[in-house]
Amino acid sequence: MQPKVYFIDDHQISLDKIDEHAHYVISTLRRAGHKAYLVGGGVRDLLLKQRPKDFDVSTSAKPEEVKALFRGSLLIGRRFRLVHVRFGKKIIEVSTFRAGEATSDLIVRDNIWGNEEEDVLRRDFTINGLFYDPDAQTVIDYVGGYLDLEKRILRTIGEPKMRFSQDPVRMIRLVKFCARFDLNIDHDTLAALLSCKGEILKSASARVLEEVLRMLESGSAKPFFHLMHEYGLLQSLMPDLADYFTSNPDNEALALLCEADAAVRKESLDRSILIAALLFPLFRHRLLLRAQQNPRHFHLGTVQEEALSAVDELFGPFLLLPRRLSSMAAAILTSQFRIQPLDDRPLKNPRPPREYTFPLALKLFKFRTAIQPDLLPFYAIWAEASYDQNLPPPEYEQRRKRRRRRPRYDSNPMHGT
Ligand code: ATP
Ligand code: MG
């Protein structure tokens, strides 16, 4: 099939918006006689006039051939082999054109090489199936993604029911793009989502978890969780949270995520505080019920025990948080009741604990003051005490840096999860 080609007068992507390292990777591959293009989310974001998070390259060169061209590059993935070309901290991901499987089963093999057209046909949504050629400055479209972007429509490439059954994580990705770019879902794609939503539990839990955590830190967590509930995916993944959303449509968890979204747009936040923001109102509800049942034995130690089990129970049972993350989220939830004690005892001379999660707990408390201004005096007292103690301690800073250096294993189905 002949692709539709769009020139600079149409797409208006100026060359200086293309990452210089991605451009260098493409030029090097081409000089060695291979085909190479920018592909996927980067092209989509440029057309939407947004700054791409990452630039991915698709090429006719096999992974070993790519590796041989770039010193220090790494072959990664077993199920979906690709090459990470590294420039300091930056990574350009280079994948070889491959063909998808036309059967309706779950994808089992991903390293069947193909041509450009086959490579886009295996991708998820039309808006993610565009190539950009930086030499000719053209956008190459085999799937109608360019016009869909203009019309702001999200549509699967291929028959939507089959595409969701092959890889149910695509349903979460659909909600993610809908939330992030405020797009409309095509009629057939939406019908397929509603009929396949239960199949989400067939996917690898780790891949779903990664998409959910990435959305928490995306700056669009509020619309994402709202839509996850509206389209019925939350009901399968986090049933307790979904029940709470159903009985409280304008709920406090969404309001807290709105605060977190605004904060994340200014500075990166640890995933633990975002998890705590999502779970806090439901956790408090649970805790108050327990406290009513057994008022005499309620102290911070009890809150901590409750928090540890609540995080795993409310986030699960399908999604399993890494131990470090769930215990940090539990500590942040517990500290909410240190900052404002359950028995409303007046605070005299508060002493912030030297726990590395405490500054995050205070930040979550600050989000809560935007929804409940009568909490402000509590926040003010603890913020001042923390300032006097010169928190956060260096340990917290170190942990944050370590997390950022972790290589990105995203939810690409093919990343051998
Ligand atoms: P983001 O901006 O969140 O990174 P993205 O679209 O770039 O969004 P990635 O996970 O980086 O998402 O994937 C890069 C590309 O790989 C996508 O644009 C899409 O073409 C393809 N892709 C990713 N996940 C899938 C999937 N589950 N099924 C088919 N194609 C996928
Ligand atoms: Mg991407």
**Is 147 in the same domain as 266?**
no
User: Alpha-carbon distance 68 to 172, whole Å?
Assistant: 36
**Is 263 in the same domain as 143?**
no
Write down the pLDDT at residue 391: 53
- DSSP bridge partners of 74: 84
Answer whether 56's CB lies under 8 Å from 45's CB: no
| Band of pLDDT at residue 392, cut at 50, 70 and 90 | low
For residue 27, is it within any domain? yes
By most ligand atoms within 8 Å of CB, the mutation choice from 119, 162, 173 for ligand 1 is 173
The verdict on pTM exceeding 0.85 is yes
Q: Write down the H helix ranges in 184-270.
A: 187-196, 205-216, 221-230, 233-237, 239-247, 252-264
Q: How far is the CA of 314 from the centre of ligand 2 (A)?
A: 29
User: Does ligand 1 have an atom closer than 6 angstroms to the CB of 52?
Assistant: no
Residue 361 in tokens = 């707990």
Phi, psi of 107 (to 5 degrees): -65, 130
Whether the pLDDT of residue 408 is over 50: the answer is: no
Write down the pLDDT at residue 253: 94
* Strand duo 74-76 + 56-59: pairing: unpaired
* Count of residues making up the chain: 417
User: Does ligand 1 have an atom closer than 6 angstroms to the CB of 124?
Assistant: yes
User: Does ligand 1 have an atom closer than 6 angstroms to the CB of 41?
Assistant: yes
| Mean pLDDT, the chain, whole residue set | 89
For residue 186, is it within any domain? no
Whether the pLDDT of residue 275 is over 60: the answer is: yes
User: Alpha-carbon distance 379 to 368, whole Å?
Assistant: 10
For residue 242, is it within any domain? no
Phi, psi of 206 (to 5 degrees): -65, -35
What mean pLDDT is predicted for residues 341-354? 79
User: Does ligand 1 have an atom closer than 6 angstroms to the CB of 169?
Assistant: yes
Domain boundary among 108, 128, 151: 151
Write down the pLDDT at residue 182: 94
User: Does ligand 1 have an atom closer than 6 angstroms to the CB of 311?
Assistant: no
What mean pLDDT is predicted for residues 145-160? 97
Task: Provide the annotated active-site residues.
Answer: 54, 56, 124
pLDDT in tens, 44-100: 999 999 999 899 999 999 999 999 999 989 999 877 889 999 999 999 999 999 987
Domain boundary among 135, 151, 167: 151
For residue 183, is it within any domain? no
Helix (H, G, I), strand (E, B) or coil at 184: strand
Write down the pLDDT at residue 228: 97
Is the bond preceding 413 in cis, omega lying within 30 degrees of 0?
no
Domain boundary among 122, 151, 180: 151
For residue 160, is it within any domain? no
Q: How far is the CA of 45 from the centre of ligand 2 (A)?
A: 9
User: Does ligand 1 have an atom closer than 6 angstroms to the CB of 50?
Assistant: no
CB contact burial 6-38 (16+ within 10 A = b; e otherwise): beeeebebeeeebbebbbebbebbbeeebbbbb
Atom of ligand 1 nearest to the CA of 41: 7
CATH of the domain at 95: 3.30.460.10
For residue 235, is it within any domain? no
Whether the pLDDT of residue 353 is over 70: the answer is: yes
Write down the pLDDT at residue 363: 96
User: Does ligand 1 have an atom closer than 6 angstroms to the CB of 411?
Assistant: yes
| Band of pLDDT at residue 397, cut at 50, 70 and 90 | very low
Write down the pLDDT at residue 399: 47
- Domain containing residue 300: 254-389
Phi, psi of 96 (to 5 degrees): -85, 140
Write down the pLDDT at residue 265: 93
Q: Atom 8 (ligand 1): residue with closest C-alpha?
A: 41
Answer whether 303's CB lies under 8 Å from 334's CB: yes
Query: 353 vs 417, which has greater pLDDT?
Result: 353
By most ligand atoms within 8 Å of CB, the mutation choice from 19, 76, 96, 123 for ligand 1 is 123
Q: Write down the H helix ranges in 57-112.
A: 63-69
Whether the pLDDT of residue 415 is over 70: the answer is: no
What mean pLDDT is predicted for residues 6-31? 95
| Band of pLDDT at residue 113, cut at 50, 70 and 90 | confident
Q: For residue 312, with 0-12 CB atoms within 10 Å meaning exposed, 13-18 middle and 19 or more buried, which class applies?
A: middle
Answer whether 208's CB lies under 8 Å from 169's CB: yes
| Band of pLDDT at residue 293, cut at 50, 70 and 90 | confident
pLDDT in tens, 180-198: 999 999 999 999 999 999 9
Write down the pLDDT at residue 407: 46
For residue 189, is it within any domain? no
Identify the sign of the CA torsion 338, 339, 343, 348. Answer: positive
| Band of pLDDT at residue 370, cut at 50, 70 and 90 | very high
User: Alpha-carbon distance 18 to 92, whole Å?
Assistant: 12
By most ligand atoms within 8 Å of CB, the mutation choice from 97, 124, 149, 169 for ligand 1 is 124
pLDDT in tens, 221-261: 999 999 999 999 999 999 999 999 999 888 899 999 999 99
Answer whether 393's CB lies under 8 Å from 359's CB: no
Helix (H, G, I), strand (E, B) or coil at 154: strand
User: Alpha-carbon distance 102 to 95, whole Å?
Assistant: 20
Atom of ligand 1 nearest to the CA of 120: 20
**Is 5 in the same domain as 143?**
yes
User: Alpha-carbon distance 364 to 35, whole Å?
Assistant: 49
Residue 46 C-alpha from the chain's centroid: 19
For residue 225, is it within any domain? no
| Band of pLDDT at residue 405, cut at 50, 70 and 90 | very low
Helix (H, G, I), strand (E, B) or coil at 385: helix
**Number of separate domains in the chain:** 2
**Is 274 in the same domain as 146?**
no
